[in-house]
Amino acid sequence: MKTNRPIRVIQFGEGGFLRGFADWMLQKLNDANLFDGSVAVVQPIEQGLCDLLTAQDCNYTHIIRGAEGVEISKIDVISRCVKPYEDFDAYLALAELPEARFIISNTTESGIEFRESDKMTDTPPASFPAKLTLLLKRRFELGLPGFVFLPCELIDRNGDNLKKTVLQYADLWGLGADFCAWIEGENVFCNTLVDRINTGYPKDEVIDLGYEDRMVNTSEFFHLWVIETDYDLEKDLPFSKAGLNVIVTKDALERYRTRKVRILNGAHTSFVPYALLSGFDTVKSCMDDEKMQGFVRACLFEEIIPTLDLPREELEAYAENVLVRFSNPYIKHYLSSIALNSVSKFRVRVLPSILEYRARFGKSPKHLIFSFAKLIEFYKKGTPNDDPAIMEWMKKSTIAQILSDKKVWGEDLTALTKEVESCADPSVR
């Protein structure tokens, strides 16, 4: 029997990551009698997993596996799923929940964006922040308290950027000074960093649980959530009392973020297009291959770590730990999953290392430049999964045209053209 708990969390995203990270943590808090709350999940895009989740009363099994052993948990913290594209009124009604206090999201790096084409009359508008602004508008009109935001999107200062984008929509739609003051004064936008490899339902593997569960989720043991805020979060979400690796800090987020994004995520993004083009299918299969693991090690130890200002011993220890995590025999982390939205991921995760290496050493990092060439080749000859406009543009443009586009990369990368071309397959230049 599912425990009936008040909805305290509204969550944008129903994928494997949030279910194996934030929801798993909230379950731990409930199990320790430290929270007594449930989650209402919003499916932020038209197609998703909410129907499967709803079909089994929003319950699922989470399996943690690694050298440490195996841990199986039954997760029942999600109380309902809401699909704005099918029932927008039900979505807006979430604003009426008086005990809802937290909003958690994971809509990928491209999720927190401002689209001037979004209209207040759209049901729903396309972007996540636009949908959120309408929910907040309803909350404000009801005179209810604001929320504490815990965005998990892997972008710099994700909370600050989310608030900025909401205020852009408030201005675009003329929602008024009182609403903007309420956003600023009655809501808390935390900046966060998340770190856990979640692999969703294990493909090509049969796990006998003794019962049917189409939403089985798997992950590694390692987890880290760094939350930067002045708000006393532990008062409401006592993660430390539950033994969870959650760091609430006022000013140290950037240290953890830079290390994680450049090393763990940067390693993923630097080798995935190359590996997919070479016929590999999982992260583990790459680590088992001497040549591919050598490429990843070269990217990490020769080109990424030298661009970071933390103690080298600390960085190398973290990188070695990352490689151990990549080699987890229980995790089938499919390269095709990591390859989602690879262009925006490359800009955030790998490009800063390339540019910083050039600034420090007066030359380009050859392995990361090779990775850039393979990214372009993957979009031209492989099976990318990205915004259709991005995929079409990458496919039809020359390397020179791709690198010169400031809108995509944040700056003109023409200076890299000859080096990237020299690493590229002749058929894609």
Domains for the chain: give ranges and CATH numbers.
7-251 (3.40.50.720), 254-428 (1.10.1040.10)
Q: Which pLDDT score, from 0 to 100, does residue 109 have?
A: 65
| Neighbouring C-beta atoms of residue 414, cutoff 10 Å | 12
Question: What is residue 340's DSSP assignment?
Answer: B
Full-model pTM: 0.76
167 vs 281: CA distance, rounded Å: 42
159 vs 11: CA distance, rounded Å: 15
Residue-wise pLDDT for 176-205, tens only, equals 999 999 999 999 999 999 999 887 777 777
Contact (CB, 8 A) for 113 and 165: yes
Strand order in the sheet with 246-249: 191-195, 224-228, 246-249
The residue among 94, 79, 55, 109 whose CA lies nearest residue 4 is: 79
φ and ψ at 213, to 5 degrees?
-145, 105
Q: Which pLDDT score, from 0 to 100, does residue 333 have?
A: 84
Mean pLDDT of 323-342: 90
Residue-wise pLDDT for 141-161, tens only, equals 999 999 999 999 988 899 999
Question: What is residue 100's DSSP assignment?
Answer: -
Residue-wise pLDDT for 57-80, tens only, equals 999 999 999 878 899 999 999 999
Q: Which pLDDT score, from 0 to 100, does residue 365 have?
A: 98
The residue among 350, 351, 373 whose CA lies nearest residue 419 is: 373
Q: Which pLDDT score, from 0 to 100, does residue 143 have?
A: 97
The mean pLDDT value of the chain amounts to: 95
145 vs 109: CA distance, rounded Å: 28
